[in-house]
Amino acid sequence: MAKPCGLMKPCHLVKPVSATRVSGRYLTHQKGLPSLPIPPLQQTCERYITALEPIVEVDELKHTKELLDDFQKAGGVGERLQSSLEKRASKSFQLSDEYCEHIEPLVLQNQLKYFFTSVCSETLPIEYLGGKPLCMNQYYEVLSSCRIPGLQKDSVVNHSKSSRPPKHITVVHNFQFFVLDVYNSDGTPLTSDQLCVQLERICSSSEQTNMEPVGILTTQHRDSWGKAYLNLIKDKINKKSVLAIQRSIFTLCLDGAMPRVSDETRRSSAAVQMLHGGGSQLNSGNRWFDKTLQFIVGEDGTCGANYEHAPAEGPPIVALIDHVVEYTGKPEMTRSPMVPLPMPQKLHFNITPEIKKDIEEAKHNMNILVDDLDMRVTVFGHFGKEVPKSHKMSPDAFIQVALQLAYYRMYQRCCATYESASLRMFRLGRTDTIRSASNASAAFVKAFDDPNKQKVDLMVKAVTAHRSYTNMAISGQAIDRHLLGLKLQALEENLSVPELFKDPAYGKALHYQLSTSQVPAKADCVMCFGPVVQNGYGVCYNPMKDHINFAVSSFNTCKETSAAQLAQAVEDALLDLRTLLEQTPRAKL
């Protein structure tokens, strides 16, 4: 999920999580939420064609229409799959399964946020979107949970639901892991002073800097890590250490020094420290990337977090962080008990030659990935979400239209664009896709630099179309999860994959050269992530009242992309959109 990296919070307190967190009120709330709907087949087919129009060629579109006619004809495979899906309608599409099937390294899938230490309350207030209550489940999946590598597929374990939930965090310093109990024997959480004492004890007993970075194994491609994992936990001591990390409430990474950078690149450099740790020579081994939540504190006070995406989206993580930022700003009222604290327990690893080989391979691959990622964190300081609002426009739609304009100006074409839409109005809902490249946005961006065109009407239409797609997506009527569900259903029923899903246009539709996400936060921060395709961009943003924080990423090995250029093009596009609005009498909008 990058933020104005200026957010360097002093490391202090942690209010640990209560063990039993599933209250009756929470269950009643969850039960009252609707389950995810299955959209009508014909509606999805029609919307799919419309979504393809701005991104595929005319002859490709014609071919897809033929495939769709065949797919949805009476008695055809589409009908059969739709009816199977409807039978399962009470179950949600398991997006976490989709995440768990990814074999790419977790590192760039993960997200970042500046900050320091974690808190969660056991009965969180229910959140609302447009007056509708949201599913709160993701909040309860973030702590004490971990992704476990598998040979075929990964899984996620959540130890907070066990009869004896964990009472410790893991701390990693100089690649060495420690178990730190964060509760006193009387059940009260450690105070910030007690935590400082314990962290100092950890630091002084892990000064050795030539330790094997076992944690770097978690950066590997998932299939390699799945094999290396079995190898690692063959040893009983290793298995016990790994379990302690997996069970812990979260991981706190006390990082070694990062290279000094100029003020100009400080934000971007902090972002990559959170996202991948800077490579095997720096802090990439000072992590356990399978852990759902890792808080990271640099030697220079830079702080943030990294999270593993399978159990939750960015907004609950950011809400947690906002809560912590607010909490840590208040003075601590509790006095530290005068009882001696047990020494944090070091976790040992026996490194066999085979494990050593796996570590070396992971270091090599990680360094390639680190060298390849270009991350630019910028603050668009000219205006924030109040400007679009004052023109009666959705700020998110305004930013997405600016992104379309920026991309079009760089490439003279539109590309498949992903924006995450929350499905949390539904029980256990995760996300669907807002396809930001629409016919309306295409008409606008093509007209924008043509002095003879009436642009403002086209802009209003593009912004309105985006907001309509958003409304459709958050109410469970978008196309992507439905199409995925139909495809997975075919596989489950051992049917051959319908031609529709082998169509090059479907491949284009899923080749997101712009993968974007708004993660709003009260704290002045931004999340970041890598591109999802080799020749694409990752763009995350946090629109604040009077500025917008952006994190734009691309791969250095792709000659056609440049994070810096796109970041600049987005800034220009935002300014141009504002100018266009200012030149137009408000009554016309």
361: number of Cβ within 10 Å: 15
- Distance in Å, CB of 457 to ligand COA, minimum: 16
- Distance in Å, CB of 402 to ligand COA, minimum: 12
Q: Which stretch binds ligand COA (CB under 6 A): 83-91, 96-104, 310-318, 364-372?
A: 310-318
CB-nearer residue toward ligand COA: 433 or 561: 433
- Distance in Å, CB of 317 to ligand COA, minimum: 8
Taking CB under 6 A as the criterion, the residue among 141, 154, 290, 313 binding ligand COA is: 313
Specify the 3-state DSSP secondary structure of 340: coil
360: number of Cβ within 10 Å: 13
d(CA 124, CA 142): 13
d(CA 410, CA 489): 39
Binding of ligand COA by 414 (CB under 6 A) = no
Binding of ligand COA by 395 (CB under 6 A) = yes
Binding of ligand COA by 417 (CB under 6 A) = no
CB-nearer residue toward ligand COA: 175 or 469: 469
Binding of ligand COA by 489 (CB under 6 A) = no
Cα 577 from chain centre: 28
CB-nearer residue toward ligand COA: 308 or 396: 396
Identify whether 309 is a catalytic site residue.
yes
Q: Which of 309, 323, 466, 482 is catalytic?
A: 309
Taking CB under 6 A as the criterion, the residue among 189, 279, 315, 536 binding ligand COA is: 315
What is the contact mask toward ligand COA in residues 339 to 378, using x (rule: CB under 6 A)? ----------------------------------------
Answer yes or no: is 418 a known binding residue. yes
Binding of ligand COA by 283 (CB under 6 A) = no
Taking CB under 6 A as the criterion, the residue among 96, 170, 394, 542 binding ligand COA is: 394
Interface of this chain with ligand COA, residues 144 to 163, rule: CB under 6 A: none
Answer yes or no: is 394 a known binding residue. yes
Binding of ligand COA by 438 (CB under 6 A) = no
Beta carbons of 328 and 116 less than 8 angstroms apart: yes
Binding of ligand COA by 474 (CB under 6 A) = yes
Q: Which stretch binds ligand COA (CB under 6 A): 99-107, 292-300, 392-400, 580-588?
A: 392-400
Binding of ligand COA by 553 (CB under 6 A) = no
Cβ-count burial of 201 within 10 angstroms (0-12 exposed, 13-18 middle, 19+ buried)? middle
Side-chain half-sphere CA neighbours of 18 within 13 A: 8
Q: Which of 384, 270, 250 is nearest to 321 (CA)?
A: 250
d(CA 361, CA 481): 36
CB-nearer residue toward ligand COA: 176 or 404: 404
- Distance in Å, CB of 103 to ligand COA, minimum: 20
Specify the 3-state DSSP secondary structure of 105: coil
Q: Which stretch binds ligand COA (CB under 6 A): 152-160, 270-278, 280-288, 389-397?
A: 389-397
Angle 480-492/77-87 helices, nearest 10 degrees? 100
d(CA 533, CA 513): 6
How wide is the angle at C-alpha 311 spanned by C-alphas 305 and 315, nearest 5°?
55
Interface of this chain with ligand COA, residues 510 to 529, rule: CB under 6 A: 517-519
Binding of ligand COA by 319 (CB under 6 A) = no
207: number of Cβ within 10 Å: 9
- Distance in Å, CB of 291 to ligand COA, minimum: 17
Q: Using DSSP bridges, classify how beta strands 431-435 and 514-518 pair: parallel, antiparallel or unpaired.
A: unpaired
What long-range pairs does 406-413 form, CB within 8 A, spacing at least 24? 406/566, 406/569, 406/570, 406/572, 406/573, 407/513, 407/514, 407/566, 407/569, 408/445, 408/446, 408/448, 409/445, 409/449, 409/569, 409/572, 409/573, 410/565, 410/566, 410/569, 411/560
**Binding-site residue set for (R)-carnitine:** 418, 420, 431
**Binding-site residue set:** 385, 389-396, 418, 420, 422, 431, 467, 518
Catalytic residue IDs: 309
Residues within the interface to ligand COA (CB under 6 A)? 1, 313-315, 385, 389, 392-396, 420-422, 431, 470, 474, 517-519
